[in-house]
Structure 1
Amino acid sequence: MLETVWFLLWGVLWAVYFILDGFDLGMGTIMPFISKNETDRRTIYNAAGPFWDGNEVWLITAGGVTFAAFPGAYAALFSAMYSALFLLLFALILRGVSFEFRSKVESDAWRKLWDVCHVIGSFAPALLLGVAFANIFRGIPLNAEGINEAGLLQLLNPYGLAGGVLFVIMFVMHGSIWLGIKSQGPLHDRAVNLATKTWPVLIIWAVLFVVYTGVETNTFANYLANPLLFVILIGAVAGMIAIRPALGAGRLWRAWTASAVGIGGTALFGVVGMFPRLLPSSLNDAWSMTIHNAASTPLTLKIMLTVTLITIPIVIAYQAWVYKTFSHKITQDDLDYEEAY
């Protein structure tokens, strides 16, 4: 029972991370295409500024849960995807440094250097996270010892890349809507226009990916065994569809919420489809890392659950305060503030 609770919590934490960090990764990805001047670029930085580091707390939490609750899966995951995870970490470091260093020197060349780092540090994580999770859904060639028998290039298979593209499109949509919420004037209009144009691409690619998932993986086995689980997929699709009418009505917060439902539902759809496996083996299902053979002791899981039930509400309350406090649009006064990016 505890293993199942932690599996669901593990999936929810990843979904929350994708929802929250997805919009600032998306904004960084679209920055070269949507910004026309220095004010636009600074608006994008400051639209993410109060939130991005708090959003990444959920990545650390999801990774920490994997390590503490399912150490066997953690070891196999970092062995199987070491190169990809190293690249992900390096890209996230680049992005974090770009926030802090960009405004330290009054030089166009200096700012352009960190803008490039920011774009790379936003696009690469979106792509790599999608590739990684698609490969996990598909199955990794783990042997009986839990060691990956393939390399980085094997992760760049068509299904893995399709997952990477899906994450990039979802995050671009998410980030465009958020930028529309936080910006004014022409930048706001361009952001909403980009989100509107991205929507049909997202719908088409999501449908193709779901069909591809049915062909390439056995994700649907759990859903066919328990049809009530299809509510997760229906919720994800409904969220994506609801984005467009909300955009048309100018209800950007509603559109962002719908996008969040689509992203969270997509993540949970894949996670629930793997149950009880955390890392399916494509070589032999008996070699998969499951909630049973990868979990910590029951005592560890009990202690961790107690701590989690105490601390997670505190984190949620703090982040809710941050989002409420900085929910206003970015103005020139915000950009002139000495602590602004």
Structure 2
Amino acid sequence: MGLQEVWFILIAVLFTGYFVLEGFDFGVGMLMPVLGRRKDPRGDNRRRAVLNTIGPVWDGNEVWLITAGGALFAAFPEWYATLFSGFYLPLLIILVALILRICAIEWRGKVDDDTWRRRADWGIIFGSWVPAVLWGVAFANIVRGVDINADKEVTSSFFDLLNPYALLGGLTTALVFALHGAVFLALKTKGDVRTDSVRLARWLAIPAVPVAGGFVLWTQLAYGTGWTWAMVGIGAVALVGVVIFTQLDREGWAFLLTTFAIVATIVLLFGSLFPDVMPSTLDPAWSLTIENASSSPYTLKIMTWAAAFMTPVVLIYQGWTYWVFRKRISADQIPPSIGLPAKSR
């Protein structure tokens, strides 16, 4: 195995980590209006309890995306350039949504005012739903292929990206992330928030299983290889297991299985893509591959040594963070708001 194959796998691992960890962050934000009912007298406490489940870790989870983007730029600059120019609008929308979500999470408690908090909540909801959908659309189009000419430029328009396969991919990531988030909340909360999260996870599993199953099967039949059938099987078994374990109130096992389902799906997508990194629908000879899109061997060698040194440190630190904040949260434990009065803004 050469360094190009190694870095293709490492980038797949980074995106897998991002979608597993940020997936439940998105799910938590997507479910805030359901689990934090505004007509409930304790609605704000419920919303703060929901948000506090990801409070210590959400920003660390986003580091996986930054690292994946940096690795993509350094290891496969042609892939990075073609992807970010051809997918400029959807990636810009994702970036704006993530920035809005960051600001909403950080500033929500700064002012003790219901209107302020309501606007922040909508920022969190928008900043969670939009990336959850568009990431699925983007990766589905990467696997399907886009119009790439001989100059390695994408000539597809934004609306060309909204094809049936990609839209199914966006619906799949949205539903699976919402299910992942509901199971995570059931695992991290107690009291009525946990009860509602378990009930919501049971309902979300009903549409998530057939939609995700249809997308995975379409991917395998149209773009997969022989060995990726194993990922289809793992994903299918995992999603069925989620349905069973949510019914049994075993949220720990259910969360592990939603994680397996996400991992299997990402492995299927990258496995279907290899050895291409961006297939061309105009002419296969114009496709970007790990060979014609990579950096020099010397660059890849230096990156490999740096990754070998830094990766264990990052993993140990992030694992320690999750261990420290492992206990469940209840709405009854939420203290009064200490934000500035509205008139002080």
Instruction: Place the TM-score, normalised by the shorter chain, in its bin.
Output: over 0.9
Question: Which residue identity does 1:17 align to in structure 2?
Answer: Y
1:339–1:152 Cα change, 3 Å: farther
**Of 193, 208, 214, the match for 1:208:** 214
2:232 is aligned with 1:241: no
Residue 278 of structure 1 aligns to a residue whose secondary structure is strand
For the residues of structure 1 that align with 2:338 and 2:331, how far apart are their CA atoms?
13
Q: What does the per-residue CA deviation read over 1:275-302, in whole Å, with 9 as the maximum and x for residues that have no partner?
A: 0011111111111111000000111111
Tell me, yes or no, if the aligned pair for 2:228 and 2:272 is still in contact at 8 Å: no
Question: Which residue identity does 1:34 align to in structure 2?
Answer: L
1:2–1:337 Cα change, 3 Å: farther
Tell me, yes or no, if the aligned pair for 2:100 and 2:127 is still in contact at 8 Å: yes
What residue number does 1:119 align with?
125
Report deviation, 1:238: 2.1
Residue 204 of structure 1 aligns to a residue whose secondary structure is helix
For the residues of structure 1 that align with 2:159 and 2:53, how far apart are their CA atoms?
35
What residue number does 2:152 align with?
146
What residue number does 1:178 align with?
184
For the residues of structure 1 that align with 2:60 and 2:312, how far apart are their CA atoms?
14
Residue 334 of structure 2 aligns to a residue whose secondary structure is helix
What residue number does 2:263 align with?
264
**Of 187, 195, 217, the match for 1:189:** 195
Tell me, yes or no, if the aligned pair for 2:246 and 2:254 is still in contact at 8 Å: yes
Question: Which residue identity does 2:26 align to in structure 1?
Answer: L
2:163 is aligned with 1:157: yes
Trace 1:24-35 onto structure 2 (pairs within 5 A). Answer: 24-35=25-36
Report deviation, 1:248: 2.6
1:305–1:104 Cα change, 3 Å: same
TM-score calculated relative to the size of structure 1: 0.94
2:172 is aligned with 1:166: yes
Trace 1:84-99 onto structure 2 (pairs within 5 A). Answer: 84-99=90-105
For the residues of structure 2 that align with 1:13 and 1:236, how far apart are their CA atoms?
19
**Of 60, 68, 75, the match for 1:62:** 68
For the residues of structure 1 that align with 2:138 and 2:9, how far apart are their CA atoms?
19
Q: What does the per-residue CA deviation read over 1:116-139, in whole Å, with 9 as the maximum and x for residues that have no partner?
A: 111000000100100000111110
1:52–1:334 Cα change, 3 Å: farther
Q: How many residues end up aligned between the 2 structures? A: 333
Report deviation, 1:331: 3.6
Unaligned runs of 5+ in 2: 38-42, 340-345
1:335–1:297 Cα change, 3 Å: same
2:20 is aligned with 1:11: no
**Of 75, 78, 90, the match for 2:84:** 78
Q: Which moved more, 1:196-205 or 1:82-91?
A: 196-205
2:134 is aligned with 1:128: yes
Question: Which residue identity does 2:4 align to in structure 1?
Answer: E
Question: Which residue identity does 1:179 align to in structure 2?
Answer: L
For the residues of structure 1 that align with 2:160 and 2:229, how far apart are their CA atoms?
31
TM-score calculated relative to the size of structure 2: 0.93
Report deviation, 1:158: 1.4
**Superposition misfits of 4+ residues, deviation over 6 angstroms:** 337-340
Q: What does the per-residue CA deviation read over 1:70-106, in whole Å, with 9 as the maximum and x for residues that have no partner?
A: 0000000011100111100000001111111111111
Residue 48 of structure 1 aligns to a residue whose secondary structure is coil
For the residues of structure 2 that align with 1:30 and 1:229, how far apart are their CA atoms?
32
Trace 1:215-230 onto structure 2 (pairs within 5 A). Answer: 217=222, 219-220=223-224, 223-224=225-226, 228-230=227-229
For the residues of structure 1 that align with 2:246 and 2:93, how far apart are their CA atoms?
35
Report deviation, 1:211: 3.4
Tell me, yes or no, if the aligned pair for 2:46 and 2:331 is still in contact at 8 Å: no
For the residues of structure 1 that align with 2:34 and 2:62, how far apart are their CA atoms?
25
Percent of matched pairs sharing the same residue: 39
What residue number does 1:2 align with?
3
Tell me, yes or no, if the aligned pair for 2:236 and 2:261 is still in contact at 8 Å: yes
